[in-house]
Amino acid sequence: MQLNDVTLREGDQMPGRAFTADQKVRAARRLDELGVPFIQPAFPITGEKDRSVVSELAGTTDADIVALARAVTGDIDVSLDAGADVVEVFVSVSDRHLEHLLGKSRPEMLAMLTNAVDHVVDHGGTPHVTLADAFRTDHADLVEVFESLPNVPMVTLADSVGVRTPASVRAFLEALREDVDLGRVGVHFHDDLGCGTANVLAAYHLGVAKADVSVGGLGERAGNSSLEEVVAACTVDEDDTLGVDVGELIPVCRDVLDELGESYGERKAVLGSAIAEHESGIHTAAMLSDPATLEPFDPATFGGARQLVFGKPTGKGGARKLLQRAGVDADDETVAAFLDLLDDRGPLHLADAVALAEREFGS
């Protein structure tokens, strides 16, 4: 499964956000260093800023630069003129969207979409397609769309309102693969039910070819499937790095969020500083022997760092192991004295706690 990063386009659509062109370009270059194969930084028809972002990035990255476009020639021409490697043509396909959003009949929508794809190809571009509200679209209607796009290499199904769960995603895709090759299917989820990452993983296990992700889950409403969570989960659970440089995952994602002025909580999965920090006496004692006892992954795998904290919660077992690391005889009297010191001077990180033991009890 390949990743299409939509941080810069989806994030820019959040209320109150207005990323500058320079911010988008710098963030995109960091994502390119991570090895993400597709980066969707902009919707060029919306203005000069987005056009300039695509133009500046086009031809300078290892990733394919993807420009979003409605299924109209004006959008497509602007995207092609900007130099996009891929034009991502999107159109609504559910009955509800056709009636209330697009204002087209199903035959009109199909003609609109196929004409748009032909226009991309006729002008030397590479078309991908996103089907908005696909997960609320009738199976037969969706198959008809795929049959009308035999030469489009990637068609993404969007859960536009974030209403699907892993179970319904599995059922939907299992039915679809009876008629459609999932090897040309992408997925796009929102996190309104807290299932954005889990839904991508459900689709991954069924063999979809691409998933839209965003750093920190940035995106409209509750956001999108998180890049860092999807990569970490596939790496830990499946030994599949999805082709990215996992050793740079945490630094790159933090840099992108910092560049965009976006915060993330200390307990944010994968990225948060607190998720690799341990202070409980039982936990720290065990982790001094074997860190895997109480952590899901070595944070260094993804460019992070483990922090063991010692102080008032530290127990005799942890204090004894710290003294032993410091080369100090860890008899009961010394352990008790060291615990008093930790209680008084903590919390201390591992290196500082060992240094304290050496300084106070070393020969």
pLDDT value at position 286? 80
CB–CB of 190/161 below 8 Å?
Answer: yes
pLDDT number for residue 320: 86
Strand ranges across the sheet with 307-310: 277-278, 307-310, 348-349
Q: Quick one: 353 exposed, middle or buried, by C-beta within 10 A (0-12, 13-18, 19+)?
A: buried
The pLDDT assigned to 326 comes to: 87
Low-confidence ranges of the chain (pLDDT < 70): 281
Long-range residue pairs from 145-150, CB within 8 A, at least 24 positions apart, any chain: 145/93, 145/110, 145/113, 146/179, 146/180, 148/110, 148/113, 148/114, 149/113, 149/114, 149/117
Residue type, 349: H
Max distance between CA atoms of the chain, in angstroms, equals 86
Pick left, alpha or beta for residue 327 (phi over 0 → left; psi -120 to 50 → alpha; otherwise beta).
left
- Show the domains of the chain with their CATH numbers: 2-260 (3.20.20.70), 275-361 (no CATH)
For 169-218, how does the pLDDT look when each residue is reduced to its tens digit (9 = 90+)?
Answer: 999 999 999 999 999 999 999 999 999 999 999 999 999 999 999 999 99
CA distance 262 to 159: 24
CB 360 within 8 A of CB 348: no
* Owner of token pair 């078309």: 127
Model pLDDT, residue 280: 72
Residue carrying structure tokens 């309102």: 161
pTM: 0.91
256: tokens are 């992108």
Contacts of residue 290, defined as CB under 8 A and 6 or more positions apart, other chains included, come to: none
Three-state DSSP at 154 gives coil
Residue by residue, what is the 3-state secondary structure of 40-79? Answer: EEECHHHCHHHHHHHHHHCCCCCCEEEEEEECCHHHHHHH
Is the Cβ–Cβ distance between 159 and 168 less than 8 Å?
no
Calculate the dihedral angle through the C-alpha atoms of 204, 177, 186, 129, rounding to the nearest 10 degrees. 180
